Amino acid sequence: MATPGKEIKILAFDVFGTVVDWHGRIAREVDALGLGVDGAEFALAWRAGYKPAMQRVMTGELGWTKVDDLHRMILEDILRRFGVTALDDAQKRHLNLVWHRLDPWPDAVQGIARLKRRFTVCTLSNGNIGLLTAIAKHGGLPWDCILSAEVFKAYKPAPATYLGVAEVFDVAPGEVMLVAAHQDDLAAARGCGLKTAYIERPLEYGAARVNDVSPDPANTFHARDLLDLADQLGA
């Protein structure tokens, strides 16, 4: 019997939502500030601004802008929308860096460590390199390499990001597998010839907005979490 995923050499991981719990950490920190707003709703609003902000870069309205700076732009907007006026610039900067302090899902560190025994494991995130490095340091994430949209000067789902991973490691696209909790990301990767592994993260948006984690047969693998993926890949 063939080993599953035998042709795969590189596992490229989406990070926000797939590897780390952005919603839980941001909600807790906002609640702890005592700003009189609901931390869970604030976290959702902050994340909701992410794709529109990236779109402004992709359409050329903004020049290349790293995600740390996009997060700060979105933060200024949602502070106004939520009527928060009590934070000074240093406090806003600290709050913006909550994205650097995101905690891994409980299976993430062990799952990545197991997968690393058999594959090269790297990030493929729209987050900038400094941000991804801080997250890895904070959570003990054992990446072999940190790749970012910043390297390719293009945000996912641009083909340059997915194909860029293959180019970096000098492998064929079919020897790279994107690991992600988002079907649109995975579909774009498949369109570039990558293999895909869907990871169930039903609580990415919090308990009040549970994700549909139904399988898509187009994916190469479907896993409950990263430990399950390691089991399926024999790692």
Segment 107-160, tens digit of pLDDT = 999 999 999 999 999 999 999 999 999 999 999 999 999 999 999 999 999 999
Look at residue 52 in the predicted model and tell me its pLDDT: 93
The verdict on 125 and 96 lying in the same domain is no
In angstroms, what CA-CA distances link 20 with 2, 24, 99, 168, 230? 32, 9, 10, 24, 17
Residue 220 is classified by DSSP as S
Q: Is residue 5 part of a domain?
A: no
Name the packing angle between helices 183-191 and 159-169 (round to 10°): 60
The verdict on 137 and 155 lying in the same domain is yes
Residue 82 sits in a domain of what CATH number? 1.10.150.240
Look at residue 3 in the predicted model and tell me its pLDDT: 60
Asked if 114 and 235 touch (Cβ cutoff 8 Å), the reply is: yes
Q: Are strands 20-21 and 103-104 parallel, antiparallel or unpaired?
A: antiparallel
Total of domains in the chain: 2
Q: Is residue 39 part of a domain?
A: yes
- With tokens 């794709």, the residue in question is 51
- How many residues in the chain? 235
Q: Domain limits at 93? A: 23-101
Enumerate residue ranges in the chain where pLDDT < 70. Answer: 1-4
Look at residue 2 in the predicted model and tell me its pLDDT: 47
Asked if 115 and 235 touch (Cβ cutoff 8 Å), the reply is: yes
